[in-house]
A = this chain, B = another copy of it.
Amino acid sequence: MQFKLGPLPECPCAATVETVGEWWSILILRDAMQGFTRFEQFQRSLGIAPNMLARRLKHLTDSGIFERRLYSTRPARHEYVLTEKGRDFFPVIAAMVGWGNRHFAKDGPALLLADRSSGRALDPVLVDSASLQPIDADTAMAVAGPQASPQMRERLAMVAALRPIPSSNG
């Protein structure tokens, strides 16, 4: 599956995967969220080969997740600063941290999230912004949005038939 930067898929999840769905991209973003901005910082932190890092940073920059900013003119040097779009990816990283801690950290986590000003540990959960009720696989479903294509609507009708709504006689 190549990364074409062409028309993105209709499904928002597939569009996200197409943009950041490579092994290293997530880890680069994880480090960027912590304040890393420079080529050499990412390289040392991740142990990634420089050509791979250059490719990933270019892809993420072309995707509008990083802004390539000149920080020194005399030796021309650039740093990679997260855009608003890039910073907004944080919930995905945090959800991954939460899942990783719940399922892999049997003896307690090695890393967790905390509030930057109070230092209090944070327990990330995904909720609906209006009701503040947790969103999970059993209570949520995918439905067609206003811009859904006929194929998307057909597909969603098909998957709705797979899992009838509970407490209804279907």
Contact = CB atoms under 8 A, between A and B. Distances in A.
A27 B13 contact: yes
A165 B141 CA distance: 39
B13 A159 contact: no
Contacts of A105: 12, 145, 147
Interface in A146-163: 146-149, 152, 155-156, 159, 162-163
A156 B31 CA distance: 11
A103 interface: yes
Contact of A99 (B92, B97, B128, B129): B92
A155 to B, nearest CB: 8
A159 B103 contact: no
A8 interface: yes
Contact of A140 (B27, B104, B116, B147): B116
A150 B117 CA distance: 24
A140 B126 contact: no
A135 B13 contact: no
Given A35-B162, A138-B87, A148-B111, A117 B16 contact: no
A96 to B, nearest CB: 4
